[in-house]
Amino acid sequence: MQKDTTPSIHIMRSQLGRARGLGAAKHGAAHWWAERLTAAALLPLSLYFVLSVLLLKGAGRAAMAAYMGEPWNAVLFLLLIFAMFYHLSMGLQAVIEDYVRKDAKRIAVLMLVKAGIWFLGLAAAVSVLKLAVS
Amino acid sequence: MKDVREALMVGRNSEGKLVRRPLSPHLQVYKPQISSATSIFHRITGVALGAGAVLFTAWLVCAAAGDSAFSVIQAIFASWIGLIVLFGFTLALFYHFCNGIRHLAWDAGKGFELPDMHRSGRLVIGATLVLTVAFWLIAFLVG
């Protein structure tokens, strides 16, 4: 008897779920995109930061305040802070998920690192705003 | 419940006895290559820049806090240890910047051929050194 070679699907998953290809988590590409977008944003922003550091080298506090008092500088620093800490958060998460194996420890380390990143990011942003309006 | 990776490490040998599966050789048996070296340095510099973000924040917070706090942080940055640490951060920043461009090119599907990949790896290392030296030359010689 001829063997039936007609393609057919022998899986429990619905064909719609299979076509969407999102797996059990229902999402997946968002973090990948966010990491690349922040990376792309950080290319000009980090060059701007390097330039700012060279301009502000050895500057006193008054010069810092004057620099941040320029709206463009304050805005670029805020963008830098946002993109940098967002990118850092995702990068450190990937590293932690790779190397910290025990579930409880991994979740604890992730929460601590994310809390620290929120704290640092907000502290940096508030400082820029304070310098900008002082 | 057993960790799934632990559970998969157990198998039966030809006599039907339960044994831990042998591990294949790990990183240390491989000769360092530019592909693996640039990859792990991307990670290391990324984590190092996380520490740099703490210094970055300290710099801004001290500037916002007042004259005395800002003069303290400026003195720390200008000290020998401070300069060595800052030098390390510029190296890490320029490396992660250059190799990040390489990664973005790969994400766009470009530069996967081995000769291209080796060339871009060497280019990243060279550009990192040039940018770092240029930064410190400008910092010391200009203004």
Whether B7 and chain A come into contact, CB under 8 Å, resolves to no
**C-alpha span between B99 and B105 (Å, rounded):** 10
Question: Considering CB atoms only, which of A36, A64, A126 is closest to B104?
Answer: A36
- pLDDT for B17-64, tens place per residue? 888 888 777 777 888 889 999 999 999 999 999 999 999 999 999 999
Task: Match 């500037």 to its residue by tokens.
Answer: B63
- pLDDT for A77-120, tens place per residue? 999 999 999 999 999 999 999 999 899 999 999 999 999 999 99
Question: What is the identity of the amino acid at A113?
Answer: V
**CB pair distance less than 8 Å for B53 and A50:** no
Whether B134 and chain A come into contact, CB under 8 Å, resolves to no
pLDDT of residue B1: 53
Phi and psi angles of residue A11, each rounded to the nearest 5 degrees, phi first: -130, 160
**C-alpha span between B51 and B44 (Å, rounded):** 11
pLDDT at A2 over 70: no
**C-alpha span between A119 and B12 (Å, rounded):** 51
The CA distance from B17 to the nearest CA of chain A, in Å, is: 28
**CB pair distance less than 8 Å for B46 and A95:** yes
DSSP state of A126: H
Phi and psi angles of residue B79, each rounded to the nearest 5 degrees, phi first: -75, 170
Nearest CA in chain B to A129: B64
Q: What is the mean pLDDT of chain B?
A: 92
> At how many degrees (to 10) do helices A71-99 and B34-65 cross?
130
pLDDT of residue A15: 76
> pLDDT-derived band of residue B7, with 50, 70 and 90 as boundaries?
confident
| Angle, CA A66 vertex, CA A60 and CA A67 arms, to 5° | 90
SS3 label, residue B19: strand
How many residues are given for chain A? Answer: 134
| More confidently predicted of B131 and A2 | B131
SS3 label, residue B12: strand
- pLDDT for B67-79, tens place per residue? 999 999 999 999 9
Query: Would the ipTM clear 0.85, i.e. be above it?
Result: no
How many residues are given for chain B? Answer: 143
Domains annotated for chain B, with CATH where assigned, are 35-141 (1.20.1300.10)
Architecture of domain A29-133 in this structure:
Up-down Bundle (1.20)
pLDDT of residue A76: 98
Report which of B99, B89, B76 is spatially closest to residue B49, judged by C-alpha positions. B89
pLDDT of residue A17: 79
**C-alpha span between B136 and B113 (Å, rounded):** 35
Question: Considering CB atoms only, which of A36, A58, A123 is closest to B107?
Answer: A36
Torsion of the alpha carbons at A114, A120, A123 and A124, rounded to the nearest 10: -120
> pLDDT-derived band of residue A10, with 50, 70 and 90 as boundaries?
low
Contacts of B5 in chain A (CB under 8 A): 101
Report which of A55, A56, A59, A76 is spatially closest to residue A132, judged by C-alpha positions. A76
pLDDT of residue A35: 95
Instruction: Quickly list H helices, B1-143.
Output: 4-8, 34-65, 67-78, 80-107, 114-141
Q: What is the mean pLDDT of chain A?
A: 91
Nearest CA in chain A to B75: A58
